[in-house]
Structures are given as structure tokens and as C-alpha cells.
Amino acid sequence: MNNTHSARLDQLIANNQQHLISGGLKGIEKESLRISKDGLISQKPHPKALGSALTHPYITTDYSEALIELITPPFADIKETLGHLQSIHQFVYQHLDNEILLCTSMPCGIKGDESIPIAEYGTSNVGRMKHVYRHGLWHRYGRTMQAIAGIHFNFSVPEALWPVLHSQENSGMSLEDFKSDAYFGLVRNFQRLGWIILYLFGASPAICKSFFNSRPQLMAQFEEFDQGTLYHPYATSLRMSDIGYKSKNQADLRINYNSLSEYVDSLGHAIATPFPDYEKIGVVVDGEYRQLNSNVLQIENEFYSIIRPKQIAQSCEKPTVALKRRGVRYVEMRSLDLDLYNPIGIDEGKARFIEALLLTCLLQDSPPMTEADFQTNNRNQLQVANRGRKPGLELERNGNKISLQDWAVEILESMREVCDILDKDDEHKPYRKALQAQQNIVQNPDLTASARMLAIMRETGQPFSRFALGKSLEHAACFNGHKPDAAFDRQFNELAEQSLSKQAEMETKTQLPFDEFLRQYFTQQCTDEH
């Protein structure tokens, strides 16, 4: 990626059309573990007052019954997105039954895999499929890894920009194909430099020893911070390391991001290819499903990528089929740790920085990725996750070594013009301020969230578990006693009731045998959610 020049942006400016990059839609998905006030993972079911985790559009569960996921609609104004997320938190806290939400990405209070309840979605075929998929993840990776939480940032490019880019590049593609191709260019560029998100915003440099109860052999690679905590001294985001979402189980998986068709084909190949280790687990054992299949991936979502091209799937439609039929609609950036210093897990400055970075990735040239590029990107991400704050750390770029700090300076400088355009009509210059804040952090690694977290733990003599619990209680106090406004409260109570009714309706319908439902799903012969 060329960090200093963008032909696309230059041409937009020459035609006085640069304003078209403003107003992209931003949505947020935020995961949090429900825990007791003494710091243990909840054993209670998803609160019924919040609605059905299967059918509610904005409040669901991720892997575990205790891992709640809060979803905002997409808004052009990031303040609206964050305000909506704040209101959802306020609504949720009314129904937590003396529990709180853990504010950190890495879990605490875990007593082995069996202490993590797998999410339940009822008796419909769709609900059973979601549950069985999670059983498969347990047998393949363990439950503990699945209890890790994070923020997903969804972004779509302003629709008015696409015809202009399409025209100025004289593309022979249809507009829809051009959009998808450009989104894949964005994705490739983010994979090249997405390590900067881990460096700037990583907030998981330490791990509670309870995380390793089911995998004690992994403890040897870490240093002891105190009796209850392991860490790497210069780590930024152990969530994104090989003990988290960069799982060694998927280290050899090669997903092609050079085009939509190659992406769909490579994912489809992984879903259709048997894997000996997973064949040993079995699919149906003693009449019970252990996993959806014994292939490299059960479904598309099992592939843990730092960014995904997305299309909204229709009823009973596979994500790759949705992409193939209708192209890319938005991207989902998945590498963001929870901000433990903010009650909703993300602040406005961070969100504006991410938007500017994603736009920069779109506007810059994005050559195809080779197998070597794929490996390099992975190595860089793991380097930054495990030791990103190490003085003098070097990363790989175009076959050469470059210091993390020098590269980071280049990336931030390449964002300046985009930030200035996004700020054009705002005297407060929030995008430039967000950029400046990160420039300061690049110059002083002690200002990173990961460094600050370790410094506070040292100063206060707190293990990670106590530090995390204390912060979580602080955040809970911000929400308790603060209901959302009456209209929002009424809307979400209605949504909860509607979602429960929808699930009940799905479960009363005549359903296919589950094995036939799966067969039709994977062959895409199904027409509804029976």
C-alpha cells in the first residue's frame, strides 16, 4: 500500500467531489460477558426480559449464554451510533438481575470449559443449528477461547461515492461488481496495516490464570505478572494473538481476498473439505450432534478474520451465497478490544479514527495479495499483538524490515487529508483531533491502553481479575438508575415481546428432520426457516 498518495482522492479533489466520502454508515456490535458481582461468569440463562436471542435484532448472545451481544443499527453520524449503544446498555442493565457486564475483552472468573454455558436458541431448526455450531467450536477449539469479547465496527461507503469512482476509473465492470471489487481492495489494505489497531487500541496485555484452566500447557509461554495474572511485558492485544482469535487451528487456512469470486470459492472449499482431526470428533455421536460437519470450517463464521466483507443474508441463505448474489454491502472490522476505560466499550474519537482509516484503505491503491503477503500480514499482526510496545520493534513490508514506529507515522500521515475532508463543515475538527491523539500515542507507547492498564495494575497491586472487576463495577454504576428515554424503553420492551413471539411461532411450525434441514441449508435448497 502506498501511504503517501491516492489517485482516487486526488481526482475527487480535482473535480471538487471530495465531500462524497462523508456520511458512510457506521454500526457497532459489542460483546460482553455477564458476570456476578464477585467476578464469576454467569450461569443464568439470557434474561427473558431482553427478548429472544434468536430473533431480537439488537440484543442477542454470541458463543455463550453469558456472552451478550449488543447491536446498533447503522447511522451516518457516529454520535447517533454511540448514543444508541448507550441506550441499549441502559435498557439491558434494568434486567440483569444483580449481574454486571465485564468491561474487558479477556474473560475472568472461569473455572474450566464446563463453566461456560453454550448459548441456547430454542427448538427450531435454525435455533438448533446455531447451538450445534457452537458445540462444534467447543470440540474444535475449547469453550474458553469463545468467551473472549470484542467490538465489531461495521462500515459502508457512502452510496453517492460509488458512481463517481466508477466513472472516474472508466471501469468496464458493472457498478455492483465495481463496488465489491473496491471493498475487497479496502479489505486487503486493512489486512496489510490493520496491526495499527492492535497497537493503538489493544487493551488485553494480561490474562487471568483461570483462562488456562482447560489449557494449562499454554501458560509456559507467558511471564507471571502476579499470582493470579500472566502477561507479555510489551503485549497490546493478546485477544488477537495465537491464544485468542489467531488460533493455530486455522493457521494453514488460505482464504483468497483478491476478488469476490476467489473469496467465495476459497471459503466454500474450506466448508466442503474434510479435516481428519475433526472427523475423529464425529458429527453425530450416540444420537447427538457434536458439530455441523467434520470439514475445515463448519460454516463461514468459523473463519476468524480481522475484517470481513458482508452482505445481509436473507432467510436460510448462506453468507457466501448472499455475497455472490448481491455483492458486498459493508465491511465488518473485528480486531478491536473493548475499551475498558469507557462504559460502552468504545469512544467517539476511536470510532472517527477507524472510519478515517477504512476510507483511507478504500482510496489507496490495493494490489492483489500473494501467499507470501498473507503470511507477512499474519506475522505482523501476531508480532504487534504479543510485543507491539517493544522498543525498536520491526515489522515486515515489501520484503524489508521497517520499524513499527516509522510505519505507524506513515499510516497516520496518509490519513490526514481524509480527516481534513471529513472535518470540513465542523469547526471542532473531531477527525483531526482523533488523528492527533493517535499520533501522540505513536510517539509515546506509554499512552497506549495496554501500557496504561499494566501501569495501573502495578501501582495498585491488583491482579487482572480484581482490576477488571473494579472497572466493571464502576461502569455498572454509570448505568444503574439511568433508564433510557421513555420512547426507547417502550420500543425495546416491544421488541423483546415481538422476538419471543417470533421464536415461539418458529417452534410451532412443522419442521423438517434436522439432518434434512442441514442438507438443504448446505446445498442451498431451502426456501424458508422451516
pLDDT tens figures, 117-140: 999 999 999 999 999 999 999 999
Percent of residues, the chain, with pLDDT higher than 90: 90
The pLDDT, as a whole number, for residue 251 is 65
Map residue 180 onto helix, strand or coil.
Answer: helix
Q: Please report which confidence band the pLDDT of residue 525 belongs to, taking 50, 70 and 90 as the band edges.
A: low
pLDDT(527) > 50:
yes
Q: Please report which confidence band the pLDDT of residue 449 belongs to, taking 50, 70 and 90 as the band edges.
A: very high
pLDDT(9) > 70:
yes
Q: Please report which confidence band the pLDDT of residue 485 belongs to, taking 50, 70 and 90 as the band edges.
A: very high
Contact 156, 74 (CB under 8 A): yes
Could you tell me which of 421, 436, 433 has the C-alpha nearest to residue 363?
Answer: 421
Q: Please report which confidence band the pLDDT of residue 5 belongs to, taking 50, 70 and 90 as the band edges.
A: low
Could you tell me which of 245, 437, 268 has the C-alpha nearest to residue 334?
Answer: 245
Max avg pLDDT among 5-9, 212-216, 372-376, 501-505: 501-505
Q: Which residue has the higher pLDDT, 470 or 252?
A: 470
CB 250: neighbour CB atoms within 10 A? 19
Mean of pLDDT values over 186-196: 97
Please tell me the distance from the alpha carbon of residue 350 to that of residue 225, in angstroms, as a whole number: 28
The pLDDT, as a whole number, for residue 501 is 98
Please tell me the distance from the alpha carbon of residue 333 to that of residue 324, in angstroms, as a whole number: 20
Mean of pLDDT values over 483-491: 94
pTM: 0.96
pLDDT(28) > 80:
yes
Q: Domain limits of the chain? A: 7-522
How many alpha carbons lie under 13 Å from residue 111 in its C-beta half-sphere? Answer: 7
Place of cell 506475522: 379
Pick left, alpha or beta for residue 316 (phi over 0 → left; psi -120 to 50 → alpha; otherwise beta): left
pLDDT(1) > 90:
no
Residue-wise pLDDT tens digits, 36-52? 999 999 999 999 999 99
Pairing of strands 284-285, 229-231: unpaired
pLDDT(354) > 60:
yes
Please tell me the distance from the alpha carbon of residue 409 to that of residue 148, in angstroms, as a whole number: 30
Residue-wise pLDDT tens digits, 318-347? 999 999 999 999 999 999 999 999 999 999
Average pLDDT of the chain to the nearest whole number: 94
Mean of pLDDT values over 62-69: 97
pLDDT(246) > 70:
no
Residue 207: beta bridge partners? 230
How many H-runs (helices) and E-runs (strands) does the chain carry? 19, 14
pLDDT(245) > 60:
no
Residue-wise pLDDT tens digits, 421-436? 999 988 999 999 999 9
pLDDT(186) > 70:
yes
Cell numbers that stand for 141 in this block? 477449539
Amino acid at 347: D
Check the CA dihedral 410-413-415-417 and report its sign.
negative
| CATH fold for the domain made of 7-522 | Creatine Kinase; Chain A, domain 2 (3.30.590)
Please tell me the distance from the alpha carbon of residue 75 to that of residue 449, in angstroms, as a whole number: 27
Cell numbers that stand for 31 in this block? 460483546
pLDDT(3) > 60:
no
